[in-house]
Structure 1
Amino acid sequence: MAPASTDAAPRGRPLTLIRCGDATDDYAFVLDEACLDEVLKKVPSGRKVAVVSVVGAFRTGKSFLLTLVLRYLREKGGRDWLEKGGTLSEGNANEGVNSQKDAFEWRGGRNRMTTGITVWSEPFEVTSNKGELLSVIILDTQGLFDNETPMGLTSCIFGLSTLMSSFQVYNVANRIQEDNLQQLALFTEYGRMALDAQRQARKEASSIKKDHALQRNEERRQELREKVKAARACDGSLDKVKQLEAELAKESVVEDDAFEEPPPPFQRLEFLVRDWTEFEDSLSDTDMEQQMKTYLDEVMAARHANDLQFTREQITQCFVSIGCRLLPHPGFAVTSKKYDGSTAAIEPLFKRCVDRFMRSVFSDLEPKSINGSELTALELGNYVRAYAAMFSGGANRFPQARTMLEATAEANNRNARAKALEAYCADLDSKCGAGPGVSYLEPREFRTVEKRARSDALCAFDAMATMGRKASILETRASLDLELSKARDRFRLMNDARNPFRNVEFYVLPMLVAAGSFVARRVTDFLCPNDETLLARTCDRAEDAFDHLYGGVVFLMLLFAAQRLVAMKKYLKVVGAGLLDGGVKRD
């Protein structure tokens, strides 16, 4: 996967997505909704998102690393992405440096830089090796294990970052230690419960989809039977009857889908060991890759102690992929408080290894996925809100596994509702919406089309919303049914507007009256005598009456037409509003 080739890469700025409180409120987490919306609204509708985050110990170079990530993405992974300009001024907060404020701020020394969880304001467009465009969101986190951060808060920051990320870089100094693995072990119970829930959810979804497919299959067979019967009753051609009978015979029986084991709840974890001392300039890339693999195998190898072995087994089961990258020291000039950003001061071996690291991260990046579903920006936002609320209780209230599972299920149900409503609107829009080439449907046909679209939408919701409490699922389903009814009414209005005979009685009757008056006026004029007799005067009065009636009807029709134009203007506003939001409400 490589950064997409756009003319101008976004610059942006860091935004505090999650703010941590202080001791007075037990270090409670507060989500900045405006910040979240600012980032997500920049992702094109329907595009999938990937979330890359960096977590790790206090003052181990996370923000510096993310500045390199931003430069790599801006330069679209070009050959000289790190050396370009000869200086690394982005985010450099060292003394005497004229820093550009277009990166995560970093500097040498011991003082903490990042607090809470920070997000880069501009998503980056990346093209996968499958040719699919992804929007990549970058997260930075507060340093862990310092003298100011309680252990409960450390666990919460680590936990929230893990839940939100599709690719998490675990930044550690010198080597992977046992306490690094213990942080990951906090989620093993949630991972086990999530896997069990996903297995049950997949079984239920498979059953729901099969029942729906059987229903659709039977409806299709019934339609074909009626067509065969009608063709025979109307003495249709033998070829047509045979063709319909052949189609009926081809309608296959719906078979059970093979059960697929759900993936682990978390996606990719990459240990990034900083200041690694065992690389030599003479080593080839292949040798260094092998050393990384060997080191990870040693760390995750079986242990005699049961608790250590259990921790490793649980971590392995919770992540789809676990990798390891080793980075040598960038050079003491770089860690100095007076480092001016010169790329020449960076050790060549570090440059070589960090380039390999960047390409490994973005060579196989995948969308954020939860419960087997790849997320769009709207869906990711629902999960972030649910997870942030779960951690709002404070540092001493790390959520239990069941609480995490319920938060995931709640956001999953909201996303299922949004997807089902979107599919319903897309289906009806293609058949009776405001788009070009759509014709008028008779009321009976509209009811049939709408009923099938509603059935498909509810089936899609039922197949996806299979996690969590049944009462919560039923409540969300009821709200979906209400939204479907509102969308149905909008599409009915659009369909009725295409009816060629709509309100025809308002035109036909006045036109008949006007035509009759006009004909009567001409007949009277032709038959009446042109003298001063009583009959002639009566005919003249009749002619005047017919003229007035004809003129009055024409005037009333013009007045009615003007009123219709005003009503049409209001109608177009309603239809336009429906088209703009696609009939889908945002949670």
Structure 2
Amino acid sequence: MIESVTGEMFAVLLMDTQGTFDNNSTYQQCMTVFALSTIVSSVQIYNVVDNIQEDALQHLSLFVEYGRMAMEQPHNFGKPFQQLVFCVRDFKNQEEYEFGENGGTDFLDNILQTNPEQPEEIKAVRELLREYFEDIQCYLLPHPGYKVAERQSFRGHVKDLRPLFREELKKMVPNLLGPHNLKPKIVNGKTVTCRKMIQYFKEYAASFDGETLPQPQSILNANAKLICIEAAHEAKVNYCRGMDRSTYGTRMMSEKKLLEAHIKHGITALNIYDKCPKIGSKEVRSLLLEKLQEDINAELERYKRLNEAKRVTGCASAMLACGDSVFLGIGLGSAASGAIAGAVLTLQAGVVSLGIVAIPISLTTLFFIWAYVWTKPCFEKITNKNK
């Protein structure tokens, strides 16, 4: 947890994708890991050795193509990626470029220059990389020391690092993790919370769960689904809040008024969903719209059950109000009449099972309560006389 200069607390998750693009993994596996780490990260550190080779830039072509598709969408959230940092370790050309950020900036500018002899795909990556990333940096680091290179003898102690390497790290790390430089992860123009991050991991991972290389359209559809999920959640919450206000109170609503409230707040919810940015395929949007409609209908059934429960509550309240008074019979009669009337209305409305159950339960309960209240004084008199 790191506190920013504004006082906000950031949860910094450091992910290590060790072994990416080595000889132990297929190209598809490497690209999948590379793509996922770049998409979910606010800062992607691209670790290369000695130099930025052509194949390192080739790996970025996926993000250039996705960036082009994202920027062409009707709703533009700005640049699709945040920060890319080239970390060139074991850099040897110190005579021309100094270690650190300043030398790295000059080195990167030289690498990203284009010339007519380059293939069009590589040239496009060079030309469009800065357009689709908010910030691109480069750090040149010296060799960490030969003791570190000997894996059998190195145990991870900082003291074993080469002094020059330690000094350059002290400059690099604060520039990435210092309170003044921390920025939250942004997806579709919104700040990502820890809870949302879990959902994002799932959606992005699912979009790459195939036997082919990751496709830009898959990333775009994953983003579209995330937008729709968030809009559907907001719409459902709005519907429930509206229905809570409409059904507030202890008295039972008529079925007509309940359905009117459902239609009113349901239309509002669907309008909220319809206003969410339209990106990606229409199929994703349609599927989540159907899911939202199902959720709203399920909520309506819940409100119907709550409303029906108020019928029994109303009868019980009427009986308790009468208590042991002489007007108990009148109260019981009124409550029973209300129960019967409600049952009749329910039967007329077509809810047969509810009407049939309501009559015997209500009348039986009322009868036993009435019998208990009126016979209780007689039993007490007989008991006192025997004593």
TM-score, scaled to structure 1: 0.48
Deviation at 1:295, TM superposition (A): 1.7
Q: 1:214-266: per-residue Cα shift (whole Å, max 9, x none)? A: xxxxxxxxxxxxxxxxxxxxxxxxxxxxxxxxxxxxxxxxxxxxxxx531222
Matches within 5 A, 1:172-183: 172-183=48-59
Amino acid at match of 1:328: P
- Structure 2 residue identity aligned to 1:515: V
Deviations 1:350-370 (A, max 9, x none): 222212222122233333333
Deviations 1:360-402 (A, max 9, x none): 22233333333223333444333333332333323xx113333
Unaligned runs of 5+ in 1: 1-124, 203-260, 520-548, 558-587
Per the alignment, residue 218 of structure 2 pairs with 403
How far is the alpha carbon of 1:136 from its aligned partner?
Answer: 2.6
1-structure distance, mates of 2:161, 2:126: 36
Question: Which residue of the partner structure matches residue 282 of structure 2?
Answer: 470
Q: Is the 8 A contact 1:379 1:415 kept in 2?
A: no
- Is residue 2:122 matched to residue 1:314? no
The answer to whether the 8 A contact 1:328-1:350 is kept is: yes
2:319–2:328 Cα contact (<8 Å) kept: no
Aligned residues: 330
User: How far apart, CA to CA, are the structure 1 residues paired with 2:94 and 2:114?
Assistant: 26
Deviation string 1:112-145 (CA, Å, 9 cap, x unpaired) is: xxxxxxxxxxxxx333333333333332224234
SS of the counterpart of 2:84?
strand
- Structure 1 counterpart SS, 2:137: strand
Deviation at 1:419, TM superposition (A): 3.8
Provide the rounded CA distance (Å) in 1 between the counterparts of 2:303 and 2:60: 50
Counterparts of 1:211-360 in structure 2, within 5 Å, are 261-277=76-92, 288-305=100-117, 307=120, 308-336=122-150, 337-360=152-175
CA distance in 2, matches of 1:517, 1:344: 90
Mapped contact 1:382–1:414 kept (Cα < 8 A): no
Match of 2:209 in 1: 392
What SS is found at the alignment partner of 1:366? coil
Question: 1:417 maps to what in 2?
Answer: 232
* Distance in 2 of aligned mates of 1:512 and 1:149: 80
Distance in 2 (alpha carbons) for counterparts of 1:192 and 1:293 = 25
- What CA distance in whole angstroms lies between the structure 1 residues aligned with 2:262 and 2:368? 45
Q: 1:334 to 1:449 in 2, by over 3 A?
A: farther
Q: Does 1:146 align with 2:22?
A: yes
CA distance in 2, matches of 1:552, 1:160: 68
Residue 382 (structure 2) aligns with: none
| AA partner of residue 29 (structure 2) | L
CA change 1:552–1:148 in 2 (3 A) is: closer
> For the Cα contact (< 8 Å) 1:417–1:477, is it kept in 2?
yes
Amino acid at match of 1:310: A
Alignment of 1:181-220 (within 5 A): 181-197=57-73, 200=74, 202=75
Structure-2 separation of matches of 1:369 and 1:424:
28
3-state DSSP of counterpart to 1:310:
helix
Deviation, structure 1 residue 554:
7.0
Q: Which has the higher helix share?
A: 2
| Letter aligned with residue 291 of structure 1 | G
1:514–1:553: 8 Å Cα contact kept in structure 2? Answer: no
What do residues 52-87 of structure 1 show as CA deviations (whole Å, max 9, x unaligned)? xxxxxxxxxxxxxxxxxxxxxxxxxxxxxxxxxxxx
Give the Cα–Cα distance (whole angstroms) in 2 for the partners of residues 423 and 360 of structure 1. Answer: 42
CA distance in 1, matches of 2:6, 2:266: 33
**Pick aligned residue for 2:182 from 361, 365, 375:** 365
2:326 corresponds in structure 1 to 515
SS at match of 1:187: helix
Letter in 2 for 1:334: V
User: Aligned pair in 2 of structure 1 residues 552, 474: CA closer, same or farther (>3 Å)?
Assistant: closer
Residues 312 and 504 (structure 1 numbering): CA distance in 2 closer, same or farther, change over 3 Å?
Answer: same
Using a 3 Å threshold, how does the CA distance of structure 1 residues 320 and 458 change in structure 2: closer, same or farther? farther
Instruction: Measure how far apart 1:440 and its partner are.
Output: 7.1
Aligned to 1:160: 36
| Larger RCO (CA under 8 A, 6+ residues apart) | 1
1:382 counterpart (188, 194, 199): 199
Residue identity in the other structure for 2:294: L
- Please state how far the C-alpha of 1:312 moved relative to its aligned partner: 0.9
**Aligned partner of residue 60 in structure 2, secondary structure:** helix
Residue 555 (structure 1) aligned with residue 381 (structure 2): no
Q: 1:296 to 1:462 in 2, by over 3 A?
A: same
Whether contact under 8 Å (1:518, 1:550) holds in the other structure is no
Pairwise CA distance, 1:271: 0.7
Q: Deviations over 1:138-169 (max 9, x none)?
A: 32224234333333332232223223322211
Shift of 1:489: 5.7
Counterpart CA distance in 2 for 1:464 and 1:378 is 21
1:387–1:407 CA contact under 8 A, matched in 2: yes
Counterpart of 1:207 in structure 2 is: none
Q: CA deviation at 1:407?
A: 3.4
Could you tell me which amino acid in structure 1 is paired with residue 31 of structure 2?
Answer: S
For 1:247, the equivalent position in structure 2 comes to: none
Question: Is 2:329–2:370's contact at 8 Å kept on the other side of the alignment?
Answer: no
Residue 209 of structure 2 aligns to which amino acid in structure 1? Answer: S
The amino acid that maps onto 2:164 is L
CA RMSD of aligned residues (A): 4.1
CA distance in 2, matches of 1:402, 1:424: 32
Correspondence list, 1:15-34, <5 A: none
- Between stretches 409-418 and 510-519, larger displacement belongs to 510-519
> Percent identity at matched positions?
29
Distance 1:420 1:326, change over 3 A: farther
Q: CA deviation at 1:503?
A: 0.4
| Cα offset, 1:487, TM superposition | 4.1
Task: Give yes or no for contact 1:432–1:495 (8 Å, CA) kept in 2.
Answer: no
CA distance in 2, matches of 1:328, 1:554: 95
